Structure 1
């Protein structure tokens, strides 16, 4: 039977489906050491943690790495392609989940939830309730969305259709914007938005996209939401801006270093909402992403190309390794 190796546990229904497709195993820990020690006999690796570059050369049976989600930064594509290993992902399965996370967390900051919650517990009703005088509504405000892929588009629908927000969209494909979204450059979006959401992929052009200069453009009460990847933002510059109350606050789901170190200064700030890279995770999204993984796994094991084939250049070497032809 083919072996399907996952870096993490998966939704119970997904687990059952993968067990029906082969021998299903889960890493003892989502670490490079565990992946290298336990996953070298895999035919398929299901990716929810960074995969070491050396893994692809060492795992001689490996047919494919299937990303449980959309982002490919956890998979060294060049190494996979060079080894003749297919890479597939599941785009869009958790886009509404991430979009909802952006909305509720931005609302929480505008209504000063971190201060209210902390003070209600430590200082009592009256002190906590006093924060409400400074709370702000989301409806009718302006949101800047950096990256109009699946997440950005889902966020547009909720923000514009549900809250009547003006949407400034920073995108490389302005002609593809939905009706109601206004194409914008980054500077304009930062200067005119009450909420700025980073929903772009991490690549050479977005690494360090938001630094001290960009943060200085934001309105004093504006909120920055990062559901992209940590290195898109200069954390030191953001920390300085937050400590100086130069912006209204930040929602951070991703960080330069993950897990976030227990001594990190972000943890002591009251104008920040921190979550452990979970913006895209709910029971529903885990099932949808897992179902996408099952579909791709079945196709690959049957000798077909994946539906969401992310490294087409690997196909010739893959065929040489496994003696298969393109199906259909």
Structure 2
């Protein structure tokens, strides 16, 4: 395999995509796994000699990959990549493929808020029948006919909108760029027109990326503009929602509840026990907490594998790559 390209899967996240990857390649390749922090000189040399690196974390302290021709982010966000630490001749691409999984997560969150399956199960095991049909006090809700507010209308927002429409929901969108009111969208707002957007929504789903202009966008004033029974679902980036304002809104029941999948603090190493916030969200009864799991499915792995392998095939057979974040100089 003298002409084989050197592919490094760098880090724990990237290692999840290795199995079966070689079968998707049209070019000869040698594949090596390197931990997030190179453990040996051989690991460091593998990064230096790599033609392709797949990963989602790369800092200037890492061995410089002088031969690099393609850096493929194994996710969508590039905030963990120090682009200046990569050679200017390397193309940088990212991948999506997470939107079907995240749309299912969002719909599960909405449904679980209205259809109290787990509470009904827990209480019936004790002989209690609080949701039994036939009494007005036992009625539970439906998501059909409810209003869904999508703060962000990229890949995730569009997938959620399609699912929501299938359940008969109204869809209101707020986005950085204009969104036409057609198909799955009932009303559209800019990020400078959020008061009417918040007031219209029974559920507010945050899927915006974390940028200087979106950090803390959902603040105390936003919660004041929401309906008192509104439910916030954050699958974007934690700090798009102001941490203290979210805790206060939930603790003082200014909104109906929240489902939070993206947080403010994360474990530094696998196996670490880490609270996801400086505030005690775990003590609140009107919040569902999940550990940044919404996109991490077998389907996401397959779709991202296909994207990354296709771009490697394209790059090394002279075709243009898809999802280019930074073209080679």
Q: State the TM-score bracket (shorter-chain normalisation).
A: 0.7 to 0.9
* Map 1:239-278 → 2, pairs under 5 A: 239-259=247-267, 261-262=274-275, 264=277, 265-278=280-293
Q: TM-score, normalised by structure 1?
A: 0.81
Partner of 1:324: none
In structure 2, do the counterparts of structure 1 residues 97 and 127 end up closer, same or farther at CA, with 3 Å as the change threshold?
same
Larger RCO: 1 or 2 (CA < 8 Å, sep 6+): 1
The CA distance in 2 between the partners of 1:174 and 1:153, in whole Å, is 14
Q: 2:217 corresponds to which residue? A: 209
Instruction: Note closer, same or farther for the CA distance 1:40–1:110 as it changes in structure 2 (3 Å cut).
Output: farther
Q: What is the aligned partner in structure 1 of residue 95 from structure 2?
A: 90
Change (3 A) 1:109 1:304: same
Q: Pick from 51, 58, 80: which aligns with 1:51?
A: 58
User: Which residue of structure 1 lines up, in the alignment, with residue 17 of structure 2?
Assistant: 10
2:126 corresponds to which of 121, 124, 127: 124
Aligned equivalent of 2:158 = 153
Query: 1:263-314 CA distances to partner (integer Å, 9 max, x unpaired)?
Result: 75233433222222221222122101110010011222334442221113xx
Could you say which residue in structure 1 is the equivalent of 2:142?
137
Whole-angstrom distance in 1 between the partners of 2:295 and 2:188: 25
2:171 and 2:50 map into 1 onto residues whose CA distance is 45
Q: Relative to structure 1, is the Cα distance of residues 299 and 9 closer, same or farther in structure 2, using a 3 angstrom cutoff?
A: same
CA shift digits 1:50-75 (9 cap, x unpaired) = 322444x7122222221223222232
Alpha-carbon separation, structure 1, partners of 2:233 and 2:306: 28
Greater mean deviation of Cα atoms: 139-148 or 64-73: 64-73
Secondary structure of the corresponding residue to residue 138 of structure 1:
coil
2:73 to 67, 89, 99: 67
Return the offset for 1:18.
5.3
Q: Is the 8 A contact 1:146 1:186 kept in 2?
A: no
How many residues matched? 304
Equivalent position SS for 1:13: coil
Gaps of 5+ in 1: 317-328
In structure 2, what is the Cα distance between the partners aligned to 1:186 and 1:53? Answer: 39
User: What is the deviation of 1:111?
Assistant: 3.4
Which of the two has greater helix per residue?
A: 1
CA contact (8 A) 1:32 1:51 kept: no
- 1:300 aligned onto 2:319: no
- 1:21, 1:298 within 8 Å by CA — same for their partners in 2? no
1:114 touches 1:270 (CA, 8 Å); kept in 2?
Answer: no
* Secondary structure at the counterpart of residue 278 of structure 1: coil
Q: Which shows bigger deviation, 217-226 or 70-79?
A: 70-79
Secondary structure of the 1:58 match is: coil
Query: Secondary structure at 1:258's aligned position in 2?
Result: coil
Q: In 2 relative to 1, CA 175–270 (structure 1 residues): closer, same or farther, beyond 3 Å?
A: closer
TM-aligned CA distance change 1:214 to 1:165, over 3 Å: same
